[in-house]
Amino acid sequence: MPDLLRIGDLRAGYGDAVVLPKMTLDLAEGQVLALLGRNGTGKTTLINSIVGVTRRFGGTIRLGDRDITALRPDQRARAGIGWVPQERNIFRSLTVEENMTAVAQPGPWTVDKVYGMFPRLKERRKNFGNQLSGGEQQMLAIGRALTLNPRVLLLDEPTEGLAPIIVEELLTALAKITRAGGICSIIVEQNAYKILRLADRVVILDRGAIVHEATSKALQADATPLERFLGVGGKT
């Protein structure tokens, strides 16, 4: 399957600081990539660079046949980059439904389809964003990204701070979403073992560079790289 996202020799960071010295990464349609690493290793910077909110010093980003390197974040979103940031960034003064319809683009992911994936959002469709629980806000952030009908879905710490039962609900939904076809996904997650069952490939970052890359199955069979680079000593 051809690559849907191609990052070539990307140098990016903030201000005068280069966080990603030379990042090259390809992702095919239908693939789910888990992005792992200790805090401060460049995971969020990579996500933000794909979105277009960092300073680029060099390199390219291609989405399918299109070079999106010079596009603004809003243009990248319309081109097919869907983003669920750590902060969720939902519109708190809009209702659940308004949050999604405000950004929706034509495609298979409609508001009704999101409601089918997250029935809780349908129950609360007239509630404002600031009236939702943390788990519901995360569902809404994911649903809003989906109604953009992205080709690439980026999720930065989607389960952070959520109750275990909500985490399981979200991971089950993400498994269905990422296998729905037509997109590829990059998921940043602190809990390595939880994300291994969802991902196809795993990339571990350190100091803004890829220090290990493997299939999820390989890491499930031999967790030595997780222990070495993340200090993960056992399944959690």
Domain boundaries, the chain: 3-33+51-190
Number of other residues whose CB lies within 10 A of the CB of residue 4: 20
**pLDDT tens, residue by residue, 63-107:** 999 999 999 999 999 999 999 999 999 999 999 999 999 999 999
Model pLDDT, residue 20: 98
Distance between CA 108 and CA 69 in Å, rounded? 26
Give the torsion through C-alpha atoms of 18, 22, 27, 33, to 10 deg: -60
Q: What is the 3-state secondary structure (H, E, C) of 67-78?
A: ECCCCCHHHHHH
User: Phi-psi region for residue 140, left (φ > 0), alpha (ψ -120 to 50) or beta?
Assistant: alpha
What are the residue ranges in the chain where pLDDT is below 70?
A: 1, 233-236
Distance between CA 114 and CA 91 in Å, rounded? 17
Model pLDDT, residue 233: 58
Distance between CA 236 and CA 230 in Å, rounded? 13
- Sign of the torsion formed by the C-alpha atoms of 218, 50, 47 and 205: positive
Distance between CA 9 and CA 24 in Å, rounded? 5
Distance between CA 52 and CA 159 in Å, rounded? 23
125 backbone dihedrals φ, ψ, rounded to 5°: -60, -20
- CATH 3.40.50.1110 fits domain 3-33+51-190: no
Model pLDDT, residue 236: 44
**pLDDT tens, residue by residue, 194-206:** 899 899 999 999 9
Distance between CA 33 and CA 185 in Å, rounded? 6
Residue 201: both structure tokens together: 């490939």
Closest-CA residue to 155 (of 59, 48, 67) = 48
